[in-house]
Structure 1
């Protein structure tokens, strides 16, 4: 398995893009063939060869796309078919970035996977998807510079307003501030911040807070082996009222109880590893 993750070097791009990443599964790689993506409030633009087919399943619904595509913010765990070798580049946009890019109504695209023509989006100077993924591992710095250049032009059309600015102030404090206190902390009414947040992200603050806490917990669990898992301690660490509350939360979020998750370890963080930002 080959992978990397890099932050944009352009400040104008980094305002909207958290990182670029690359993942390649080679023919002799073994492991879970159907890894799961946990719920994510951020959107990912996937750059893939035109002949590659990508499948995403959730709650009895199957979405199939070919080549480049968006994975929009999703509340449901997505199961992917990674039984065949593949190479993909990902562009992870920051939470709320899609609003500034004036994409369709954000609530309507939640949990959706949709094809995209990247040359139409960024211009022909970017090159074909095949060229980008073929050189991605060996020439990652050059690729990231190319993406910076293409995104700098694309993002120059991004629009900011009072709602996006307010949400940019909410996000850094959302994980460690009680939601009911955020309005007071930012000197705004609770109704104002709730409406702005949903308008910009398509999600409620509670939904995003739960996703951030879930990601932190999964990163923590990834470092532990089965013998080290003490679910009562984990429930206390992540401020669940008790262990049954944690069980219900994981069941609703990733479709598995803690015991089943510990046995299967089928989320992408377990299958492909928590590769660090360089």
Structure 2
């Protein structure tokens, strides 16, 4: 399996984390990949099946596998998402910051929390057009340019505004989840209760939940960077702002269903990585 990430242009970075391209080894065409897991790192995805191969996503609510649409949006997940794909699958994704979905597409994040939605249902004819442009494209650079053109056309319609939920998201990310909700509300000059209520209405999750996701993402990044040089969970816990090692292990298990030891056993246990280029 080949996976690579690409940074967006400067104008889009406030809204988009990265683009990514995944190709399943063609040697296994006709068979399925092993079970893949995407971690809850606090982003959303718009994903296009570039060559119309079959990809299945596990519907945790209904406890069943479902064939994904050819273009779809995965919402803000608060736990691990599971998927598998047919050999030869080529997928292109746009990883969007939560507030970016609302600003670029006028879609409340709460509407797609913990769910997979057909891109045509929320993006309309634009989704179909984007998928048509990408289907059959072999050159990754062309896919990136197509995505950039699509997003920049949306950016032109984003009005300048001040939104404290958007600023809360950005403050949480900039501090790797180190800010408490109380400190966050103080910096934004609003009450803690008002922040919690409005954040939940717009994002579907509380600011505390999003803060935990971003802190977990920082801890995962720290651990991955030190797998080959010696990894101590006490260091990960301390550097990532957890109360102690037990706190970190508890959070890791809640978000992944596994203990942190899986990282030491298998560096590629989880699909989502954090290196963009």
Q: TM-score range by the shorter chain?
A: 0.7 to 0.9
Deviation, structure 1 residue 93: 1.3
Ranges in structure 1 where 5+ consecutive residues have no aligned partner: none
Match of residue 17 from structure 1: 16
My pick for the range that moved more, 14-23 or 208-217, is: 14-23
Q: For residue 242 of structure 2, what is the aligned residue in structure 1?
A: 240
TM-score computed with the length of structure 1 as normaliser: 0.80
Structure 1 position 18, deviation (Å): 2.6
> Would the alpha carbon gap of residues 157 and 61 (structure 1) be closer, same or farther in structure 2, given more than 3 Å must change?
farther
Gaps of 5+ in 2: none
2:150 corresponds to? 150
Residues 190 and 52 of structure 1, relative CA distance in 2, 3 Å threshold: same
**Alignment partners' CA distance in 2, 1:48 and 1:82:** 10
Q: How does 1:203-222 map to 2 (within 5 A)?
A: 203-222=205-224
Residue 171 (str. 1) matches residue 169 (str. 2): yes
In the TM superposition, 1:1-278 aligns within 5 A as 1-9=1-9, 11=11, 13-28=12-27, 33-49=34-50, 51-57=52-58, 59=60, 60-82=63-85, 84-100=87-103, 101-103=105-107, 106-117=109-120, 120-121=125-126, 124=129, 127-132=132-137, 134-136=138-140, 140=141, 142-158=142-158, 165-174=163-172, 175-225=177-227, 228-265=230-267, 266-269=269-272, 274=274, 276-278=275-277
For residue 45 of structure 1, report the CA deviation from its aligned partner: 0.3
CA RMSD of aligned residues (A): 2.9
Number of residue equivalences: 263
Aligned residues of 1:69 and 1:113 also touching (Cα < 8 A): yes
Residue pair 1:4, 1:277 contacting (<8 A) in 2 also = yes
Give the TM-score taking structure 2 as reference length: 0.81
Divergent runs of 4+, >6 A: none
Contact 1:102 1:158 in 2 (8 A): no
